[in-house]
Amino acid sequence: MQRQHLDNRNQPQEAEEGDTTTTATRKQETLEILQAYRTSPTIKLRNQLVNLNIGLVRREAYHWTNQCQESFEDLMQVGSIGLINAIERFDVSKGNAFSSFAVPYIKGEIQHYLRDKSPTVRMPRAWLTIYNHGCKIIRNRRAETGREPSSQEVANELGITVNEWYDIKLACQNRSPISLDTPIDQSEDSSTSIGDLVTDQKYQSFQLAQEDNIRLQQALDLLEDRTREVVEFVFLKEFTHREVAETLGISAVTVSRQLKKGLIALKKILATPIE
């Protein structure tokens, strides 16, 4: 992995975090550079955006250093890839805060790295207990109300913050490689899984192998940007429709439509035999 020059101090806090004026200035400068980057994308502007927002990566890297055997520096490098992905995909016209948009990308990149690189992630027993309880709450609420409870509702019932629930859920969900049996839509009674998108029967009973993961990523890259984002968040990162809508600043109806559109396109792409 090609390394960038990063401030990799093994601590989450930054000097400017306590300075409201500096934070506001950084946010404004980020917005202005993002607008310039959309007009004329250059490596120089992208690096400026990375340097301005590297604190988002540092906090996530510091958090996960305590949960795995990977070094802080490696997690900074991986998290920076997530930050760059967020920079490339952020839509300035939506009026959303860049930091809120970027954190799921950073966190997701680190989580997938840990899942693939480090199978022995140290998972606190208490987290597994909370996660199982949270899943039970979701099932019960779904049966009682006919809808998916929000992450805030689940967190409230568990007695933790919504950010703590996000961290626990992501950590527990990413303990093992992607399974072909994972349902595409967790909020509905749907039997559609990634296995349904791959016509070759030899895939149906096994976890996604590395070469098949590459094929899936190549197929995702062929989708339109918004459609790809929705599919990645719902399927690969296992976000609910509500969480995707909140993250991308779109409606849940749009999420459903884009997901359906993406699945139809993926099915056609993955059905094409490999020569």
Give the DSSP letter of residue 181.
Answer: T
State residue 22 phi and psi, 5-degree precision: -65, -40
What is the average per-residue pLDDT within 122-151? 80
| Predicted pLDDT at 58 | 93
Cα–Cα separations (whole angstroms), residue 95 to 27, 32, 87: 12, 12, 14
Tell me which residue has tokens 């597994």.
128
Domain formed by 177-275, architecture: Orthogonal Bundle (1.10)
Secondary structure class of 188 (helix, strand, coil): coil
Q: 177-275: same fold as 18-117? A: no
Span 19-60, pLDDT tens digits: 444 777 888 899 999 999 989 889 999 999 999 999 999 999
> Does residue 175 register a pLDDT over 70?
no
Span 228-254, pLDDT tens digits: 888 877 776 667 788 788 777 788 889
- Bridge partners of 193? 183
Cα–Cα–Cα angle for 186, 63, 157, rounded to 5 degrees: 45
Domain 18-117 listed as CATH 3.20.20.70: no
Cα–Cα separations (whole angstroms), residue 69 to 11, 72, 202: 17, 9, 34
- Going by C-alpha positions, the residue among 148, 76, 129, 104 that lies closest to residue 236 is 104
pTM of the model: 0.47
Domain ranges of the chain: 18-117, 123-175, 177-275
Q: What is the mean pLDDT of the chain?
A: 74
| Predicted pLDDT at 218 | 65
For the structural domain made of 123-175, what CATH number should be given? Answer: 1.10.10
- Bridge partners of 183? 193
